[in-house]
Structure 1
């Protein structure tokens, strides 16, 4: 496909209450020009943080939006004021649940209809993501849009890892373990191979994507073979406000005896639980670390998170049949040396040894030379991997 050197691709990463965006200039490589994040959509206190990469500091403003449709329309008006926006030739969307879609696809009416049909499988994300697609289609029907699926990275998992042990009549309707954070894992594996080489990237690897949403993936020969999130992003490792794995009997008890409706239960496990539910004060790990010495509930939340990580990493090491590399990423994984140290201290039986100074400095490699497992910190970049996938899908020639 022929294109001008100054064409741009816009990436949209829609969450349940947030929208991240970034604009990249398409040259031989992708050159990021600006980025931003709309947060707390639907709370009545929505705000936008944005930055122009070449021209200055991050700015913050309050924005009057009530839902994702209003947020999408507001974002379009905002972006149209940016001089670079006129050069946008394609838009890439992160789509959390793709079910049987395993590669990025141009968004057509048929695909949009399919996404609407599978929305019940991810009511926390898909409806909002669909609204954003429709907003941009309405304003810019001539611009190509591409869906990049978070679940596609885990399509390589063996069938036994995807199995949910319930009757076949439900499994036949698509109830299985899908796994998420796949765009982040794709980027991290590309970056790991770029910096460490193909031999290490084909080893036995555990990636800990630890942020407000948190999961782990076991990767062997460059392919996902197991991950902590399953049918929905609420499962697996305990997160900021999500429970992680939960005894199904808890759902039955709360709905029968505490009279929670299915909607109330869904809100509880996604928005009122996890670190917030344990601490009863905050879901923010940095705040919990500051509070832990004076607040027993904060200390318990931190302890539980580290315990869960140790347990999952131990289990995944068994699945892999050993461990060559442990990679930390995400907001917590990249910026919380104490959490990394506490997790790795619980894994000393694997021969993991951290360099205290390198860990404190958030260096790329934080293990000692004597460590039997290489431990690295890699900053993830979902927006960049979306932009790359858009260019690949639309046959734009760039260097990765």
Structure 2
């Protein structure tokens, strides 16, 4: 029957999960879903109940940021927990939720391995031209660098492409959080998010990249604190900030005819993504395939079409057109990726390569 691996994917307000039986390279889903509207302890209890009394052989957790020295999957012990707590400074929206979930899982299943799988892992070996941020060496020595995120999603897509994986691939993961990644021969060589998941393209409520002078102005002239700036950049900006209505693309699409601000927010988002894809084309020296993933990327054809229209110069076709670049829509399966990496680490699955 293989090992039973439970994969947990904690967001700031919801919890996705998948249970898989894994035997070597064979991976079969046996349960999955989303738990929303509950704290993570309650959510985990609901998930455990759906396993019909079965005890997992291991539990894998998606960890957004492991700090400067945690990239590869690792069994969570006291030392790892301490380092994850320190890494919350890099991802305050996601780190505490993940730690809360690990604690709930440990209390329910104290004798089975808990494995941390990192979104930053796929980008660990970015070349210096992409990884190094233009700040003094003393700050870089403290771990300030480009980390990149959505790595479990990217690995899942690379795995799913299999023999169709091109030499030069760009992945546009577009959801409430969004990023664009350049992949050469299965390895990340550049990506839009930086030190934290707040950087890069415009997102639902996150500003993405913004002139640092704006933040300095708000500190100096408006008396904002670090906490109020964090609230502004992560929760009140992006699509929500421009539209003054919603960070949900579906809501903005419904309102766009009557609300110019909604139309503008959509246009800014699409142009932001297209510009980052263009940047990744530079990093790759060209593009063979563009993959859209994430909730917006998978389900919003109008957004995909607008982005592709901006990239016609690079041979990227719109829907129904022919072009030099392949365009695909691919649903990432982060939970299966977590399960595979967890099984490989604890000895229940085939080895998962760093670029697979």
**Which moved further from structure 2: 111-120 or 341-350?**
111-120
Contact map agreement 2:344 2:351 (CA 8 A) in 1: no
In structure 1, how many angstroms separate the alpha carbons of the residues matched to 2:288 and 2:50?
46
Question: What's the counterpart of residue 21 of structure 2?
Answer: 25
SS at match of 2:124: helix
> Which stretches of structure 1, 4 residues or more, deviate above 4 A after TM superposition?
none
Deviation at 1:83, TM superposition (A): 4.6
**Which moved further from structure 2: 259-268 or 214-223?**
259-268
Question: What's the counterpart of residue 345 of structure 2?
Answer: 393
Q: 1:286/1:201 Cα in 2 relative to 1: closer, same or farther (>3 Å)?
A: same
Question: What's the counterpart of residue 384 of structure 1?
Answer: 336
**For structure 1, which runs of at least 5 residues remain unmatched after alignment?**
40-45, 47-62, 64-70, 357-367
In structure 2, how many angstroms separate the alpha carbons of the residues matched to 1:73 and 1:374?
43
Deviation at 1:169, TM superposition (A): 1.6
Q: TM-score, normalised by structure 1?
A: 0.83
SS at match of 1:259: coil
Contact map agreement 1:7 1:87 (CA 8 A) in 2: no
Residue 137, structure 1, aligned to residue 91, structure 2: no
Selected match of 2:87 from 110, 118, 126: 118
Question: What's the counterpart of residue 362 of structure 1?
Answer: none
- 1:354-381 CA-partner distances (Å, limit 9, x unpaired): 343xxxxxxxxxxx4x411011111111
Greater RCO structure (CA 8 Å; 6+ sep): 2
In structure 2, how many angstroms separate the alpha carbons of the residues matched to 1:311 and 1:25?
41
Q: TM-score, normalised by structure 2?
A: 0.93
In structure 2, how many angstroms separate the alpha carbons of the residues matched to 1:246 and 1:154?
22
Selected match of 2:262 from 298, 316, 319: 298
Selected match of 2:35 from 9, 28, 38: 38
Deviation at 1:221, TM superposition (A): 1.7
Deviation at 1:190, TM superposition (A): 0.7
Contact map agreement 2:15 2:43 (CA 8 A) in 1: no
Question: What's the counterpart of residue 309 of structure 2?
Answer: 345
The 5 Å alignment of 1:1-400 reads 5=1, 7-27=3-23, 29-39=26-36, 46=37, 63=38, 71-98=39-66, 99-193=68-162, 197=163, 200-356=164-320, 368=321, 370-397=322-349
In structure 2, how many angstroms separate the alpha carbons of the residues matched to 1:322 and 1:79?
44
SS at match of 1:93: strand
Say which one has the larger Rg: 1
Q: 1:372/1:148 Cα in 2 relative to 1: closer, same or farther (>3 Å)?
A: same
Kindly tell me the number of residue pairs found equivalent between the two proteins.
Answer: 350
**For structure 2, which runs of at least 5 residues remain unmatched after alignment?**
none
**Which moved further from structure 2: 247-256 or 212-221?**
247-256
Q: How large is the RMSD of aligned CA atoms in angstroms?
A: 1.8
**Which moved further from structure 2: 100-109 or 386-395?**
100-109
